[in-house]
Structure 1
Amino acid sequence: MTARSLHSLAIAGTMAGALTLSFGHAARAQDTIKIGELNSYKTQTAFLDPYKKGWELAIEQINAKGGVLGKKLEVISRDDGSTPGDAVRVADELVTREGVNIIAGTFLSHIGLAVTEFAGKKKVFFLAAEPLTDKITWQNGNKYTFRLRATTYMQVAMLLPDALAAKKKRWALVYPNFEYGQAAVATFKEMMKAKQPDIEFVTEQAPPLGKVDAGAVVQAIDDAKPDAIFNVLFGADFSKLVREGTTRGVFKDRTVVSLLSGEPEYLDPVKEEAPVGWIVTGYPWDKIKTPEYLAFLTAYQKKYNDYPRLGSIVGYVTMTSLAAGIAKAGSTDTDKLIAAFEGLKLDSPFGPFMYRASDHQATMGAYVGKIALEGGKGTMSDFKYVDGASVLPSDAEVKKLRPATE
């Protein structure tokens, strides 16, 4: 055989191998439904490490039962860089390079808003898992974007009855100075003024996210002599506020109403310094006894040998929502998926909920109660579950809030 013949055979063999590899990739791609996921994993670990465990458990359970439409779900996950610009770039890479037409995730509200805008422009289905700003499903909403978690408006409304029952006139406000904090405080002020016209807001402390000077903040609060405090700080900022405020006695004999502070991801780090008596939204992970929740808890603990945080619930339900929506649509076609999600009803560890057709907001609720100390750790007491549907505006009202042209 000549050298030229050998060379030709080698080329033919290489081409055949490449074609086989290509067909292999194509076959595998046809066997899976790809979901793009992006989040601030590097900067928001307290919430997002459990969140990732939650969605990994959901994917494992869904695929063990045969997947969806006879295909396995495959999640392609990326860090969003914790900036709007990076998040949009990552979302675009997921769509253009990875070929996904379904994206999910985000944590910080301004990141969620950036990806919402991207989804609207690129006509890509987006399930915002965690960001809480109302704008995602109202003022900045679009037909391609849905949101799972209870919004700032919903969580403030859940806390409002207790805030009003305290009958305090002078309030101090503490919040991180970005979209989530600004939105929560604006809603609180509007709701409280409507019900208690003589209310006074005697100081507003709005440190940059992750950069709170807790000593200066609590001193400013104390100097203003409020009767009550509304707090929106979370994560490390919350821990610093609690420790500094407790040391200086700033919370003593003052009503404190606080968003998210009953979540174990934020309570656990303060340990025995947990601020007893604060009225909070949160997640009493070890005290919920419903069958659907206990099934989730058992599976989670078996897989991870750890207890869930609220992030675990959000991650889990994000993926079970997508699976239910795809199954209902019978397709991953964007328009069919949107139609399926509008009015989609499904179960969760917190019980049944739905995605509203009017604004694409889920009605999954949250727990409201007081912070208590048990066994040297913070937990929730006197809690109740508040259905998200009970604290949402009517369809007619949200129609006025949504963009006129979607």
Structure 2
Amino acid sequence: MTFFKRAPLAAAALFIAATAAQAQPATYKVAYIDPLSGAFANVGELMLAHLRFAVDDLNAKGALPGGQKMQLLQFDSKLSAQESQSALQAAIDQGAQVIVTGGSGSSVVAALVQSVNRWNERNPGKELIVMNHSSIDPDLTGKNCSFWHFQTEANTAMKMKAIANYIKKTPDIKKIYLLNQDYAHGKQWASYGRQMVGAARPDIQFVGEQLHPIGRVKDFAPYVTNIKAAGADSVISGNWGQDMTLLLKAAGDAGLNLRYFNHSAGSVPGTVLAVSQAKIGQLTWVAEWHPGEADTPKVDALAKAYKAKMKQDFLAPRIEMTLRLLAAGVNKAGSTDSMKVAKAMEDMTFESVVGPVRMRGEDHQLLLPQVVNTIAPVDGKTVRVGWDGTNYGFRTDAVYTGNELAQGTECKMVRPAQ
């Protein structure tokens, strides 16, 4: 009889415990896959710090519905498509629902997107979303677009359009050399440069073109010699990380005063320092914001809070914005179900620190403003703040809205049936 009296009590206790467990907020797991070792580890660590800040802030503010918390998992891509595939499987095994990437290069991101497409086809109800904060190959939102991929950075064509518009109004640029990393994005930066700058300024001469291995050149002196021999006054280069800083050093050592036109190198640690040490040459790049930009109170406040917490400088609003867009999509969907979140983010307008941005539904390309700016000495007027411990900062040359730079797309989006 004792047994039968206690059994209902035990069952009730188990039921209450199970109910309590189910009531606990779920963890929304986001996996970061980007380089955390090797030549571009400093780039990956910078991006990771921006994402950590966003996660902490979102969780502190209860930004996800139902008391859910966002958890950031981290994996080293080692700048390799193969290593990224291993990282993807590890992320899946740990319950990730979202992959955040972009700093590994477009070829790696493209491989991740393809793998996610295959996973999602085979695992309905367990789909993954890819949030791409920095790989800007137009094919990712063009002919190779995916319903599961969202790009939160302006693509190569948008950035080159901004640069071409600026060069059109800069008559002292006459002879351009194309020097780029030998991978998909480097080749595209060169191609768009020749096409778009050539169309904007038919009088410009393209006097040479070279590709070099990504992350493996230790001395750019031979490339600088070729640039000098060609008589170039400017270089269109998609180089980033050490490939840009070493190029700047070699040109400075050779006494070659060049203008460089780039997509994002100015936001990478060490670039401003390299320009200041070279003392000659100007690097012009394109981003949604630059430190010291006038009339950006929301970004300034965010940058101040970031530095206070992370003990380092804030450089890229779009990276931490990526997770805020994701959180907005979750709230709009009222669920962390990947299918619902992806549909919610399509054509979603978001009030960001750099102004309103829109995730274009037809190809999942974010339309956000772009600022053409040049690394230059602080003068208290056009350059207000020094960076990287130097007296060099950023000068605003031109500002364009996302709509002004928007391009057509080859995307023929295939959406899931349900």
Bigger shift: residues 217-226 or 256-265: 256-265
* 3-state SS of 1:205 partner: strand
Specify the alignment match of 1:218 in structure 2.
224
1:118 matched to 2:110? The reply is no
Aligned pair partner of 2:311 in 305, 311, 322: 305
Q: Which has the higher helix share?
A: 1
* 3-state SS of 1:265 partner: coil
How does 1:242-257 map onto structure 2 within 5 Å? 242-251=248-257, 254-257=258-261
What CA distance in whole angstroms lies between the structure 1 residues aligned with 2:283 and 2:108?
A: 29
What CA distance in whole angstroms lies between the structure 2 residues aligned with 1:24 and 1:98?
A: 24
* 3-state SS of 1:355 partner: strand
Aligned pair partner of 1:273 in 273, 278, 288: 278
How does 1:345-384 map onto structure 2 within 5 Å? 345-374=349-378, 376-384=390-398
**Contact 2:252/2:281 (8 A) holds in 1:** no
Specify the alignment match of 1:286 in structure 2.
292
* 3-state SS of 1:131 partner: coil
Partner letter of residue 378 of structure 1?
Y
Specify the alignment match of 1:192 in structure 2.
197
Partner letter of residue 79 of structure 1?
D
What CA distance in whole angstroms lies between the structure 2 residues aligned with 1:61 and 1:231?
A: 36
**Contact 1:276/1:370 (8 A) holds in 2:** no
Specify the alignment match of 2:206 in structure 1.
201
Shift of 1:185: 1.0
Shift of 1:68: 0.6
What CA distance in whole angstroms lies between the structure 2 residues aligned with 1:27 and 1:318?
A: 29
Specify the alignment match of 1:102 in structure 2.
98
Shift of 1:275: 4.6
Root-mean-square deviation (CA), in Å?
2.7
What CA distance in whole angstroms lies between the structure 2 residues aligned with 1:59 and 1:404?
A: 30
What CA distance in whole angstroms lies between the structure 1 residues aligned with 2:309 and 2:237?
A: 35
TM-score by length of 1: 0.85
* 3-state SS of 2:65 partner: coil
**Contact 1:171/1:230 (8 A) holds in 2:** yes
Partner letter of residue 101 of structure 1?
Q
Partner letter of residue 34 of structure 1?
K
Shift of 1:295: 2.4
* 3-state SS of 1:259 partner: coil
What CA distance in whole angstroms lies between the structure 1 residues aligned with 2:195 and 2:307?
A: 41
Bigger shift: residues 173-182 or 226-235: 226-235
Specify the alignment match of 1:61 in structure 2.
57
Specify the alignment match of 1:131 in structure 2.
135
4+ long deviations beyond 6 Å: 22-26
**Contact 1:176/1:209 (8 A) holds in 2:** yes
What CA distance in whole angstroms lies between the structure 2 residues aligned with 1:358 and 1:174?
A: 33
* Distance change >3 Å, CA 221–CA 29, structure 1 → 2: farther
Shift of 1:368: 0.9
Aligned residues: 378
Specify the alignment match of 2:155 in structure 1.
151
1:32 matched to 2:34? The reply is no
Runs of 5+ unmatched residues, structure 2? 1-10, 121-127, 379-385
1:239 matched to 2:245? The reply is yes
* 3-state SS of 1:146 partner: strand
Partner letter of residue 358 of structure 2?
M
**Contact 1:272/1:378 (8 A) holds in 2:** no
* Distance change >3 Å, CA 287–CA 233, structure 1 → 2: same
* 3-state SS of 2:366 partner: coil
Identical residues among aligned pairs (%): 21
How does 1:150-189 map onto structure 2 within 5 Å? 150-167=154-171, 168-189=173-194
1:89 matched to 2:86? The reply is yes
What CA distance in whole angstroms lies between the structure 2 residues aligned with 1:85 and 1:24?
A: 42
Shift of 1:302: 1.8
Superposed CA offset, 1:49-78 (max 9, x none): 222221111111111122411211112221
**Contact 2:356/2:368 (8 A) holds in 1:** yes
